[in-house]
Chains A and B, each alone.
Chain A
Amino acid sequence: MDSITSKILYNEEVAPGYFRIGLEWKGVLVLPGQFVMLRVSDSLDPLLRRPFGIYKVLNPKWVKSAGGYRGSGIELLYSVVGRGTIRLSRRVAGDVAGLLGPIGNGFPVPEQSRNKEQKVIMVAGGVGTVPFYLLADLLGADSALLVGARSKEVLALVKDFRPLKCKVAISTEDGSVGAKGLVTDLLKEEIAKGGPSVVYGCGPLGMLKAVAEVSESLGVDSFVSLERSMACGIGVCLGCAVKGTEHAARPGRPPEYVMVCSDGPVFKSSEVEWSRL
């Protein structure tokens, strides 16, 4: 992990309210599913850095021994939801911004987690597609991306996945794109197709909970990337705690709470006390 001042290479709107920002970071090594803490401005208000998943690595080279991509920078994809992201959306190429990371464990990468036949089913809610781009690129046809969204904005979110070999399925609440309904219905169908699989989820809490439940009921392991308000991103403020189940306990630590930033953000669903989230 490193703390750097990075140059903004580009910052552009890809769909109403969605931006992608390129940040210079020579030699950065990214594991799929990691995130950064980004200082959106030098002002004292908003004060804290904001967490964003790493979407892409610029000029990526797969480093097998590390299980990650090395590159010359990173790209983030963010939705504008409040004060910090509004400010961020106004920054322009050539500006500098404080970056801390790459942070977290990321999703288990294939060599570590599975045998060849196992399919990785990635379930994203809205901008929850972010941590899956690198994985989808890596796994290709061995993976499927299921995206649930409100409406047509989903087209901007899946655009970059289209050229990849990864299978993409969409559901929207209003039925304007893909199937009308919930992404967990797509998940049930995908699991029902058979063959060994593992499920990765990223998105709103309610969706993650449903993903964990559906996976468990169908006898499939699932991993989820959790979100919590964060101050430090390096495990010291103890602000991003979530309740873990008994066997989530780490040695030398009171077992009750795990930190999303330093123990996660990816957790095995069975290690999270969903009722306490």
Chain B
Amino acid sequence: MKKNDNNKTGNNKAGKGVTKLPSMAVNVAGLKLSNPVMTASGTFGYGLEFAPYLDLSRLGGVVVKGLSPKPRPGNPGPRIVETPCGMLNAIGLQNVGVDAFIEEKLPKLRKVKTRVIANIFGESVADYVLVAKKLDGARGVHAVEINISCPNVKKGGMSFGVNPKEAARVVRAVRKATALPVITKLSPNVSDIAEMARAVEEAGSDVISLINTIPGMVIDIEKRMPVIARGIGGLSGPAIRPIAVRMVNEVYNAVSLPVIGIGGIMNASDAIEFMIAGASAVQVGTASFVDPQAAEKVVDGIADYLVRHKMSAKKLTGSLQK
């Protein structure tokens, strides 16, 4: 590690009281983050909802709820159920639609000093392209994250997320439609995650994020019916973390793109585990429900770790010892 690898990015609140703070800044394929901690789509609303609980400007970035061309009402309830160390959800991608996001949410988000990543999805390649184009011209959006993997909607993401050719088709089209960095968010619901990663790398994705939720089911044994109205929901939370860490490591070894690790991160140790496995940055999801301040606490905890190990965030990535 270079001696002068200290913080120059102005992220000085983390690791309070320490004079020489190792650099927390990461550059994820052109997306410059003050630290590696983002929030995961669908778990942080449109960002501003959390302003009463934490300092949004201390987060590396905020990934907003998935956006579609038109507003979507979502699925009937019950939509969620708790599981051992996790939860299942079948929200059905309820969202305000890309236009309302740009007109109503974005102007307020622009006032917050953080990176805004727009998560997008659609039911056809044309849908994805339409949303990506609209966001391309929108001031205050710093990257798009393509959700090719949402398991909730029958006609939606799944077909793209499980088939390398289909995934590549979406990525290629979105890549053409926007000048913003393109993050492709992978589904864990495949037999060979490395193959998926290579397919989206070839198609021009700048970054890969993973994992999305894992399809699961919970049954009410008295009624002999699924608890969630849709039957199947996406599993998230600490229960999925070891699977996610393994997949991040496989993708890190398979491609040369930066990887964003997601899945069951509850605290800084969990986040650090992902970075050692190969993640350049991480996203905090379900933890924000359990504790609305979770993401900011992860930032603090990573800073402490980096100080203790005299290491920059960049150096931590992929530092797994064999």
User: Is chain B a partner of chain A in the same complex?
Assistant: yes
Residues of A within 8 A of B (CB): 1-3, 39, 44-49, 98, 100, 228-232, 234-243, 252-257, 276-277
Please judge, given known A-B contacts A3-B292, A47-B87, A234-B292, whether A239 and B52 are in contact too, CB under 8 Å: no
Q: Verify if B81 is at the interface (C-beta below 8 Å from A).
A: yes
Please judge, given known A-B contacts A3-B53, A3-B293, A253-B96, whether A241 and B43 are in contact too, CB under 8 Å: no
The digit string for B281-312, where 1 denotes a CB below 8 A from any CB of A, is: 00000101111110000000000000000000
CB-defined contacts of B50 to chain A, threshold 8 Å: 234, 236
Please judge, given known A-B contacts A2-B52, A238-B91, A239-B89, whether A232 and B288 are in contact too, CB under 8 Å: yes
Across the interface, name the chain A residue whose C-beta is closest to B77: A241
For B289, give its contact among A231, A243, A254 (CB under 8 Å). A231
Q: Do B89 and A237 have beta carbons less than 8 Å apart?
A: yes
23 A-B pairs whose Cβ atoms sit less than 8 Å apart in the complex: A1-B52, A3-B53, A3-B292, A39-B291, A44-B266, A46-B82, A47-B82, A47-B87, A47-B237, A49-B289, A228-B77, A229-B81, A231-B80, A231-B82, A236-B50, A237-B42, A238-B91, A241-B77, A252-B104, A254-B96, A256-B73, A257-B94, A276-B76
Q: Do A229 and B80 have beta carbons less than 8 Å apart?
A: yes
Q: Do B290 and A48 have beta carbons less than 8 Å apart?
A: yes
Q: Do B73 and A257 have beta carbons less than 8 Å apart?
A: yes
Please judge, given known A-B contacts A1-B52, A232-B288, A243-B76, whether A237 and B237 are in contact too, CB under 8 Å: no
Cα distance A242–B77 in the bound complex, in angstroms: 6
Q: In this complex, which of A39, A100, A239, A276 has the most chain B Cβ atoms within 10 angstroms of its Cβ? A: A239
Cα distance A234–B46 in the bound complex, in angstroms: 12
Q: Verify if B318 is at the interface (C-beta below 8 Å from A).
A: no
Main secondary structure of the interface of A (DSSP, over half): loop
Supply 20 further A-B pairs (C-beta < 8 A) apart from A2-B52, A44-B237, A232-B288. Answer: A1-B52, A47-B87, A48-B82, A48-B289, A48-B290, A230-B80, A231-B89, A231-B289, A232-B289, A236-B45, A236-B50, A237-B80, A237-B91, A239-B79, A240-B77, A241-B74, A253-B96, A254-B96, A257-B73, A257-B77
Q: Do B291 and A98 have beta carbons less than 8 Å apart?
A: yes
Cα distance A240–B238 in the bound complex, in angstroms: 21
Q: Verify if B72 is at the interface (C-beta below 8 Å from A).
A: yes
Q: Do B85 and A229 have beta carbons less than 8 Å apart?
A: no
CB-defined contacts of B288 to chain A, threshold 8 Å: 232, 236
CB-defined contacts of B252 to chain A, threshold 8 Å: none
Q: Verify if B222 is at the interface (C-beta below 8 Å from A).
A: no
Please judge, given known A-B contacts A39-B290, A243-B76, A253-B96, whether A45 and B43 are in contact too, CB under 8 Å: no
Interface residues of B in 160-200 (CB under 8 A from A): none
Cα distance A228–B226 in the bound complex, in angstroms: 16
Q: In this complex, which of A1, A39, A238, A253 has the most chain B Cβ atoms within 10 angstroms of its Cβ? A: A238
Q: Verify if B78 is at the interface (C-beta below 8 Å from A).
A: yes
CB-defined contacts of A2 to chain B, threshold 8 Å: 52
User: Which bracket fits the contact residues of B?
Assistant: 35 or more
Cα distance A253–B95 in the bound complex, in angstroms: 9
CB-defined contacts of B84 to chain A, threshold 8 Å: 45
Cα distance A229–B77 in the bound complex, in angstroms: 9
Across the interface, name the chain B residue whose C-beta is closest to A232: B289
Q: Verify if B71 is at the interface (C-beta below 8 Å from A).
A: yes
Cα distance A234–B290 in the bound complex, in angstroms: 11
Cα distance A49–B43 in the bound complex, in angstroms: 15
Across the interface, name the chain A residue whose C-beta is closest to B287: A47
Q: Verify if B44 is at the interface (C-beta below 8 Å from A).
A: yes
For B238, give its contact among A39, A44, A241, A253 (CB under 8 Å). A44
- What is the minimal beta-carbon distance from A51 to any residue of chain B, in angstroms? 12
Q: Which 5 A-B pairs have the closest CB atoms?
A: A239-B80, A236-B45, A256-B73, A232-B289, A231-B289
Across the interface, name the chain A residue whose C-beta is closest to B71: A254
Across the interface, name the chain A residue whose C-beta is closest to B83: A47
CB-defined contacts of A46 to chain B, threshold 8 Å: 82
Please judge, given known A-B contacts A256-B74, A257-B73, whether A234 and B49 are in contact too, CB under 8 Å: yes
Q: Verify if B320 is at the interface (C-beta below 8 Å from A).
A: no
- What is the minimal beta-carbon distance from B48 to any residue of chain A, in angstroms? 10
Q: Verify if B29 is at the interface (C-beta below 8 Å from A).
A: no
- What is the minimal beta-carbon distance from A105 to any residue of chain B, in angstroms? 17
Across the interface, name the chain A residue whose C-beta is closest to B100: A252
Q: Verify if B86 is at the interface (C-beta below 8 Å from A).
A: yes
CB-defined contacts of B45 to chain A, threshold 8 Å: 234-236
Cα distance A212–B306 in the bound complex, in angstroms: 58
Cα distance A276–B79 in the bound complex, in angstroms: 13
- What is the minimal beta-carbon distance from B216 to any residue of chain A, in angstroms? 14
